[in-house]
Amino acid sequence: MSEFVLQIDGKEVTAREGMTIVEAAKTAGIRIPTLCHHDQLEPYGACRICTVEAEANGRNQLVAACVYPAEKGMVVQTKTEKLAKIRKVLVEQMMAHAPDAPQLLELAEEYGADRDRFDKDPSFCILCGLCVRYCNEVKKKNAIGYIDRGPRREISFIPDVAGKECWDCKECFPLCPTSALQAAYVLTEALATPPEEAAQEAGCAGSCSCSGSCG
């Protein structure tokens, strides 16, 4: 595979054909923040926190570094004032959905984001798609997917499949940047399991109305 040189933050970086800007930067020890990116998954470009300034063929553009291919002679800036402002607003928008997400709190500190800038809509999901894509691309189970469209779009476990596959897997849970996925799964399980069955599984006598939770 052919190699070429580009410049990232003033540093000459050797990249291979097919690499994205994020991958090229990583080989040179340059960190570009990401939330929806995962080395095992196809590039997705959902969260845009990896936005960088890239100049190639005389054009300067803002691009999502996790999907944009590195090119020979390209000049990339990953830490400008303009980028810091863009990332700050992106973090603030995501914090409307998941105000206490650990990864967002870290980014908020880094970019001076105000977690209360936008009205709260705590879905606890930033639609990074990591869980959906991991289950689909790596596990090939399709136990979780998107429902609805536009602003109502959300993630949902598919109860029939998740009931069979997830209990012994749980591999996507730690990928969730808001740490909310496990809770969503527990809720799906609870809604899919009749109260009497849940009580039996928990070894409860079933004489109260706790559904097994008091055991």
Which residues contact ligand SF4 by CB under 6 A?
131, 134-135, 139, 141, 143-144, 162, 165-166, 169-172
CB of 85 to ligand SF4, least distance (A): 35
- Residue pair 8/28 in contact (Cβ under 8 Å)? The answer is yes
Q: How far apart are CA 71 and CA 73, in angstroms?
A: 6
What residue spans of 28-180 are helical by DSSP H?
81-95, 102-111, 130-133, 159-165
Residue 95 or 128: which CB sits closer to ligand SF4?
128
CB of 129 to ligand SF4, least distance (A): 12
CB of 58 to ligand SF4, least distance (A): 44
Residue 6 or 181: which CB sits closer to ligand SF4?
181
CB of 100 to ligand SF4, least distance (A): 22
Residue 82 or 153: which CB sits closer to ligand SF4?
153
CB of 160 to ligand SF4, least distance (A): 12
Residue 140 in tokens:
């090939």
Residue 49 or 143: which CB sits closer to ligand SF4?
143
Can you say whether the dihedral through the CA atoms of 181, 184, 188, 193 is positive or negative? positive
Distance of CA 104 to the CA centre of its chain: 11
Closest CA to 9 of 69, 96, 75, 107: 75
Residue 23 or 165: which CB sits closer to ligand SF4?
165
Residue indicated by tokens 């790596």: 138
Q: How far apart are CA 88 and CA 138, in angstroms?
A: 32
- Residue pair 81/109 in contact (Cβ under 8 Å)? The answer is no
CB of 198 to ligand SF4, least distance (A): 19
Q: How far apart are CA 37 and CA 100, in angstroms?
A: 20
The H helix count followed by the E strand count for the chain is 7, 7
Residue 89 or 158: which CB sits closer to ligand SF4?
158
